């Protein structure tokens, strides 16, 4: 892994207001560029907004498509890698909660949410692949909201070589403090057990479709400790330097790096 500077955004994402959400997103990409970030991560489905109602299908788009072309224009203008989310429709008419990785060179790939929460099953289809991406010498995976409750997914990504997992959320209800306390029950374990960085961010505010989100973002190091957090509940961009030496400090220690000693022959 190389050192990398990342930006994470707490964002209000009204459902169906794609053009407005893209414009709003561009202002944060510009701000991240000014602060020297190499990559910016937005919450789950930030472009189309998040909804479990059938209306979300009206905003769903193919990849590549108009939304990804707009994000690509931002990536090229500001020389940034952008992780952003949308409702994606495929050629069969299925809708996925998707998070494409877009670089100045183009669409590097897309993560489709694998674990569909009970309120989502009548609207979204499940993805069936676990892609990893590599940007500036950093190998990373993406998980979306409900995905992070399944520890095997993080272990799978770690055994494939992930240094970092981004965990964009559209997780409603409760206060930022309550949501942070909930995250602290499982996110540190994903980082600690797999000796990698974990980066999570959430939507905030009223999505104008019946849901309200408590905004927060947190970065955890490979020991499961908090590097930086913001639980203010309002729109905010947090910039964090992830250091290769912090990863090596754990992975270079024979008693702190657990993955090489897993019993693959038994489970």
pLDDT of residue 264: 87
pLDDT of residue 213: 98
The encoded tokens of residue 36 equal 């020297």
Say how far apart CA 121 and CA 136 lie, in whole Å: 36
Tens-binned pLDDT, residue by residue, of the chain (267 aa): 999 999 999 999 999 999 999 999 999 999 999 999 999 999 999 999 999 999 999 999 999 999 999 999 999 999 999 999 999 999 999 999 999 999 999 999 999 999 999 999 999 999 999 999 999 999 999 999 999 999 999 999 999 999 999 999 999 999 999 999 999 999 999 999 999 999 999 999 999 999 999 999 999 999 999 999 999 999 999 999 999 999 999 999 989 999 999 998 998
pLDDT of residue 39: 98
**Within the chain, where are the H helices?**
18-34, 66-78, 151-159, 176-183, 187-194, 244-251
Q: Give the global pTM.
A: 0.96
Say how far apart CA 211 and CA 141 lie, in whole Å: 27
- Strand 39-41 and strand 81-83: the pairing is parallel
Domain assignments of the chain as residue spans, ordered by start: 4-255
Say how far apart CA 147 and CA 162 lie, in whole Å: 16
- Let me know if domain 4-255 sits in CATH 3.60.110.10: yes
């Amino acid at each position: 892994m190389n050192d990398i500077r990342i930006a994470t955004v707490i964002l209000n994402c009204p459902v169906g207001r794609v053009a407005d959400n893209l414009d709003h997103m561009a202002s944060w990409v510009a701000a991240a560029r000014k602060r020297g970030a190499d990559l910016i991560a937005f919450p789950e489905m930030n472009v189309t907004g998040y909804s479990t109602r059938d209306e979300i299908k009206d905003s769903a788009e193919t990849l590549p498509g108009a939304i990804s072309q707009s994000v690509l224009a931002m990536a090229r203008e500001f020389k940034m890698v952008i992780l952003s989310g949308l409702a994606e429709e495929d050629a069969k008419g299925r809708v996925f909660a998707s998070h494409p990785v877009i670089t100045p060179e183009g669409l590097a790939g897309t993560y489709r949410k694998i674990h569909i929460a009970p309120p989502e099953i009548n609207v979204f289809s499940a993805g069936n692949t676990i892609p990893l991406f590599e940007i500036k010498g950093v190998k990373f995976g993406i998980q979306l909201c409900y995905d992070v409750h399944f520890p095997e997914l993080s272990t799978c990504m770690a055994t494939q070589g992930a240094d970092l997992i981004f965990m964009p959320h559209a997780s409603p209800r409760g206060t930022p403090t309550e949501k942070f306390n909930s995250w602290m029950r499982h996110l540190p374990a994903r980082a600690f057990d797999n000796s990698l960085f974990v980066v999570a961010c959430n939507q905030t505010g009223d999505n104008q479709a019946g849901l309200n989100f408590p905004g927060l973002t947190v970065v955890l190091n490979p020991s499961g400790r908090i590097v930086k957090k913001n639980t203010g509940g309002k729109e905010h961009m947090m910039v964090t330097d992830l250091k290769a030496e912090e990863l090596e400090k754990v992975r270079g220690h024979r008693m702190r790096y657990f993955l090489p000693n897993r019993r693959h022959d038994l489970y």
